[in-house]
Homo-oligomer: A and B are copies of this chain.
Amino acid sequence: MTSSGRRRAGIDVGGTKCLGVVIDSDGEVLQVERQPTPRDPDGLIEALATMIGGFGDVDAIGVGVPGLVTREGVIRASPNLFDVRDLPVGSRLSERLARHVFVENDATCAAIAEWKSGVAMGRSDVVVVTLGTGIGGGIVADGRVVRGRNGFAGEIGHMIVDPSGPRCPCGLHGCWERFASGSALAARARDLVSAGGGRAILARAGSETGVRGEHVESAARDGDAEALAVIDEFCRWVAMGLANLANALDPELFVIGGGLASTGDAYLPSIRKWFGRMLYAPELRPHPTIELARHRELAGAIGAAHLAEVEADGGH
């Protein structure tokens, strides 16, 4: 079998569905499978084993799961999954299938997807930021994935950027994801509508509670000044977090993924503008570029399929 013929399977375990792919060694997707995520540990292990079995002969298997995942493939906790604590997904699946299964945090998988077969291919210093319900992240430094001591690196959504800011479900105040996630954008627009403004946004949403990011985007595309201001302010917060990460890590490239990436062109110019003002010593250094992710919904699964390869590279 030639190298380009190698087939790798990856599954992204989400709160509602498991999304599986088979990719070739160029990262091209050969097959996609979906099924609902079972609500209990045993059901999850069985469902994953069955999906993997259905992929036939593959050279490597990886699974991406939300939440805190140890380097040994144990889910410590996963608020978006079910009330799972200390589930050794890696070892249970490996036993069940009698072969090694790699397990990693889903945002790290999404980052690996961009690095191995997306817009960050061939780059050695990259930060991938997924802007969705929350903010996840994955870091590549000097050609290696940064996992941290326990495997918990990349929890950048809980970087505090304003301690007097809104309370986060994590219990703290002013976490970055309260300002710069997709849901934060919608929340700011609802605040505006609630205060009697944002008529163009409200007209598109139908009701205050129905306001979502797409309504802000739509109003902004039509030139509505309030919507444009909400987006600009949102982009300022995104840029602030990116600048903080750039100061710490000095990457050559940021990749913006997650739900927001699908309409990211509405945000990129403003994010880039603010980033250029918030980076330390901007006049003295090359600025990292900021690009949208190539992989969309499949990013986590594709990255999971690349896990074995990353491990072989010494990325662990």
Using a CB–CB cutoff of 8 Å, the interface residues on chain A facing chain B are 68, 76-77, 124-125, 137, 139, 141-142, 144, 146-156, 158-164, 170, 172, 240, 243-245, 247-252, 278, 280-281, 284-286, 288, 316
Most B CB within 10 A of own CB, among A163, A170, A249:
A249
A158 in contact with B285 given A137-B248, A151-B250 (CB within 8 Å): no
Taking CB as reference atom, which chain B residue is nearest A162? B162
Taking CB atoms, residues of chain B closer than 8 Å to A163 are 161-162, 240
User: CA separation between A137 and B153, bound complex, in Å?
Assistant: 18
Q: Which of B151, B155, B243 contacts A248 (CB 8 A)?
A: B155
| Chain B residues, CB < 8 A from A281 | 68, 76-77, 155, 170
Contacts A144-B144, A163-B240, A281-B170; A251 near B149 (Cβ below 8 A)? yes
- Give the complex CA separation of A172 and B239 in angstroms: 13
Chain A facing B: main interface SS = loop
Question: Chain B residues with Cβ under 8 A from A252's Cβ?
Answer: 149
CA distance in complex: A124, B146 (Å) = 11
The reply to whether B248 and A156 contact each other, CB–CB distance below 8 Å, is yes
User: Using Cβ atoms and an 8 Å threshold, which residues of chain B touch A316?
Assistant: 142
Given contacts A156-B248, A160-B244, 10 further A-B contacts (CB under 8 A): A137-B248, A141-B148, A149-B250, A149-B251, A150-B285, A155-B248, A158-B247, A160-B240, A161-B162, A248-B249
For A162, list chain B residues within 8 Å (CB). Answer: 161-164
Report yes or no: A286 in contact with B248, Cβ–Cβ below 8 A.
Answer: no
CB of A250 within 8 A of CB of B153, answer yes
Residue on B nearest A155 in the bound complex, by CB: B247
How far, in whole Å, are A299 and B125 apart by their CA atoms in the complex?
Answer: 27
Contact of A161 among B155, B158, B161 (CB under 8 A): B161
10 residue pairs of the A-B complex, CB under 8 angstroms, read A68-B284, A76-B284, A124-B149, A141-B146, A155-B247, A156-B248, A160-B240, A161-B163, A163-B240, A170-B281
